[in-house]
Amino acid sequence: MNKNVLILGASGDIGNAIAIDLANQGYNLILHYHKNHHTIERLQYILREDAILQTVQADLADTDAVHNLCSEIVYAVHAIVFVSGTAHYGLFQDVSEVEMDEMIQIHVKAPWLITHHFLPQMIRDQFGQIILITSIWGNIGASNEVMYSSVKGAQNSFVKALAKEVGLSGISVNAVSPGFIDTKMNHHLLQDEKTEIISHIPVNRAGLTSDVAHAVRFLLDEKSNYIQGEIINISGGWF
């Protein structure tokens, strides 16, 4: 089957790596981005000519934009990979209600709405794959990242619950849960802070975006179809 994969957040470091990896394996891509159009242009330049079926711009913090994104996609969607998201650092007591609403919208409601839109066709086809890129903080929590931990925990629960509901319909639902990955999201850390974190990781290095991309490709492989409702940690043994 020549699968069409919708990647939400394809312009981020991890989304970019996933897009490249899947295109090299022959998947057809529908790429979503918010602001980083130059990254999408780069993908259009370096990937095979027929790899990208469509690109769609949308701010997932805006409910109307999410609905528009769904309606703009003109191709069948066989698999969805949710990568899009944003972190929030700081004390919970300093968080505003506006920031709370935005985090819930991007990480929880947007995946709900997008899945809700494409799920009926997957059920009719008796085939579909849904993968969320969550975080180890969704499992164990992190000080100064309370909101991020909360919404990632919600994503993990969504994966486990939906997997039980749609497994009989031939749809797989899983998550990839990265630990400390070398991306722009961690560029706020000082080098000494990065070194301290890596000293606690058993494999003694930061994760690479390619590590996450490989896990996504593994889950999309039809030989992995007995994996259901799992949260696969890509953390180098950290925590």
Q: What is the pLDDT averaged over residues 133-141? A: 95
Q: Let me know if residue 122 belongs to a domain.
A: yes
Q: Which amino acid is at 124?
A: R
In Å, how far are 11, 94, 162, 198, 223 from 36, measured between CA atoms?
6, 29, 31, 29, 34
Q: Is the residue at 51 inside a domain? A: yes
- Tell whether 165 is covered by a domain: yes
Instruction: Encode pLDDT of 22-45 as tens digits.
Output: 999 999 999 999 998 999 999 999
pLDDT value, residue 131:
98
Q: Are 45 and 112 in contact (CB under 8 A)?
A: no
Q: Is residue 64 part of a domain?
A: yes
C-beta of residue 43 within 8 angstroms of C-beta of residue 17: no
Across residues 150-159, what is the average pLDDT? 98
Is residue 189 over pLDDT 80?
no
104 within a domain of the structure (yes/no): yes
Which residues span the domain enclosing 73? 4-234
In contact, 17 and 209? CB cutoff 8 Å: yes
Number of domains observed in the structure of the chain: 1
Give the rounded percent of residues in the chain with a pLDDT score beyond 70: 99
The amino acid that residue 20 corresponds to is: I
Q: Is residue 239 part of a domain?
A: no
Average pLDDT over all residues of the chain: 95
In sequence order, which residues have a C-beta less than 8 Å from that of residue 25 and are 6 or more positions away? 217
In a domain, 200, yes or no: yes
Q: Is residue 191 part of a domain?
A: yes
Residue position matching structure tokens 């996609």: 73
Residue 62 and residue 69: Cα distance in Å, rounded?
A: 11
Q: Which residues are tagged catalytic? A: 148
pLDDT at res. 187: 67
* Cross-strand partners of 174: 131
- Beta-carbon contacts of residue 30 (< 8 Å; ≥ 6 apart): 4, 5, 6, 7, 52, 53, 54, 55, 56, 73, 75, 77
pLDDT at 58: 97
Domain with residue 196: its CATH number is: 3.40.50.720
